Amino acid sequence: MRNYIILLLVGFIISMSSCREDFEFEPSTGNLTFSKDTVYCDTVFTNIGSSTYSLKVYNKSNKDIKIPVIKLGKEDSKYRITVDGMVGENNRVFRDVELLAKDSMYIFIEVTADVASSNPTDFLYTDQILFDEGTNQQKVELVTLIQDAYFLFPKRFSDGTTETLTIEGIEKPVYGFVLDENDPANGNEYHWGNDKPYVVYGYAAVASSKTLTIDPGARVHFHAESGIIVGNGATLKAVGTLEDKIIFEGDRLEPNFDNVAGQWETIWLTAGSTNNEIEHVIIKNAIVGLNIDSNDGNFMPIKNTEIYNSSLIGLYAKTAKIQGENIVINNAGIASLYCAIGGSYDFKHCTFNNNWSSSRQVAVALNNYYEDIDGVIQTEPLTQAYFKNCIIYGSNTFELSLDPDSTEDFNYSFTKCLIKFGTTTNSLYSFIYADENNIKLSENPRFLDIQKNKLNIGDDSAARGFGDDIGVPNDILGRIRTTTIGKYDLGAYQHEIFPED
């Protein structure tokens, strides 16, 4: 045992004596190499910080070197950098940076700039990262596109508090604001044009008797925990065109955020909102795309509308009245379409798909009840839920959920639909198996690309030529629906021949 301890001590002493206690660094000679010559920071809105981008710097020589200075080219640069975890002087200047032989280091880059700082001809804001000085100096270019926008946000008061909204049924005030017809910066906030995007912080509220009109081609971006609230007696008119659709999405413009669900909250049409219209609209990456409470008794039209990547529900209707044509909803954490607490619905030529990565999600869910704050079940009649020439599909075995508290007030019908559904003895679903000339069961619609939200169907789709003429002559792309032996294609899209890859 004693000899073993002695051997350990000797080994430890030898290893310590062989460790290099210091490094001899030589000045850099301008021979660094980089993972890229130009770092392109994706488009950002004016005065909104970017994501973090990286640059890798290599010392491929056999010598340990010291770089006298690494800095941004502009003294007042809007970029910020960190070098191997160091913040330097104001995130802009780093002196005597050491880099071992055959080693590398990371530089991380961020930018917050306004449109006034950019080039007025192309709105690019540029700078450089400079390595060393004099004849040894090397450069990496930095480029960012700055986009101007209208910014809508709650007022900040002199006591340091910010504007909030009080909403019936919600205990805590909601971070938000009421739109202003005479805002000193934005003018009439009840009219959103298409000359530049809108960026919304918090909930933008439409007051009673007011109408928010959104022009064709408008782009609306929401920050996290933000959305639109249309109050009792208020109206939303979001009517785009085939050529100029209205787009609602988050405020992160980087490509990595294109299909990230849950970036903002919802467009909420509260109970009593009236005369709402939604047409040629795209809603992306919300928690709940459209949240519609009981409206004023008239059917609300939703036409030629796409809702994608909702972390909870694509279209959430509660005791509402909706007439939907050419609606496409793809991917949601709970349901693409959820008609809850009764209501009255008429959907024609709609495509509801859900490939969310869970075992419980569905494409379509219907119920006619809710549990109140005292735990008592309250029922509202599902007067009608008509689905005609629709596709209800997804990655699970069962993509349709019928959940009544009482079948007396639970009226539904599915006419000429393709439905993804397995085997059950529940009599609620007996219609699915009753008539193969009325329901196509679990046959593949062969969507073009589900992951890219392209739910177009090809000429080999099971949805081709199965539907009836129900008075919707054009598909979501404006194409005239043609017949196949007197029958029409199901869903929002007329079939087409896809080009080969």
How far apart, in Å, are the Cα atoms of 481 and each of 275, 328, 427, 452?
29, 17, 35, 24
| pLDDT band, residue 37 (cuts 50/70/90) | very high
Do residues 162 and 154 touch, judged by C-beta distance below 8 A?
A: yes
Specify which residues 413 forms β-bridges with: 386
Residue 252, helix vs strand vs coil? coil
Residues 131-146, mean pLDDT to the nearest whole number: 94
Lowest mean pLDDT among 159-163, 353-357, 427-431: 159-163
The predicted pLDDT at position 2 comes to: 53
Residue 373 has pLDDT above 90, yes or no: no
Residue 6 has pLDDT above 60, yes or no: no
Residue 16 has pLDDT above 70, yes or no: no
Measured on CA atoms in the order 237, 239, 244, 248, is the torsion positive or negative?
Answer: positive
Q: What percent of the chain has a predicted confidence (pLDDT) above 90?
A: 76
Chain segment 436-472, per-residue pLDDT in tens: 999 999 999 999 999 999 999 999 999 999 999 999 9
- The CATH fold assigned to 26-147 is Immunoglobulin-like (2.60.40)
Distance CA 247, CA 473 (A): 24
421 Cβ contact list (under 8 Å, min separation 6): 397, 398, 399, 400, 429, 432, 441, 442
Do residues 266 and 289 touch, judged by C-beta distance below 8 A?
A: yes
Residue 15 has pLDDT above 80, yes or no: no
Residues 153-174, mean pLDDT to the nearest whole number: 84
Residues 252-257, mean pLDDT to the nearest whole number: 87
145 Cβ contact list (under 8 Å, min separation 6): 42, 43, 44, 118, 122, 123, 124, 125
Do residues 282 and 308 touch, judged by C-beta distance below 8 A?
A: yes
Distance CA 258, CA 255 (A): 5
Nearest-CA neighbor of 240 among 216, 261, 258? 216
Measured on CA atoms in the order 48, 53, 59, 60, is the torsion positive or negative?
Answer: negative
Residue 312 has pLDDT above 70, yes or no: yes
Query: What's this model's pTM, rounded to 2 decimal places?
Result: 0.87
More confident residue, 490 or 161: 490
The predicted pLDDT at position 3 comes to: 54
Residue 148 has pLDDT above 50, yes or no: yes
| pLDDT band, residue 18 (cuts 50/70/90) | very low
Residue 10, helix vs strand vs coil? helix
Do residues 98 and 65 touch, judged by C-beta distance below 8 A?
A: yes
Residues 3-12, mean pLDDT to the nearest whole number: 52
Nearest-CA neighbor of 80 among 58, 50, 109? 109
Chain segment 337-372, per-residue pLDDT in tens: 999 999 999 999 999 999 998 888 999 999 999 988
CA-CA-CA-CA torsion for 337, 340, 343, 345, nearest 10 degrees? Answer: 10
Phi/psi at 381 (nearest 5 deg)? Answer: -65, 135
Residue 39, helix vs strand vs coil? strand
According to DSSP, the β-strands at 391-394 and 417-419 are parallel
The predicted pLDDT at position 297 comes to: 72
Residue 74, helix vs strand vs coil? coil
More confident residue, 171 or 441: 441
What's the mean per-residue pLDDT of the chain?
Answer: 91
According to DSSP, the β-strands at 65-72 and 124-131 are antiparallel
Residue 21 has pLDDT above 70, yes or no: no
Residue 17 has pLDDT above 50, yes or no: no
Chain segment 45-57, per-residue pLDDT in tens: 988 888 899 999 9
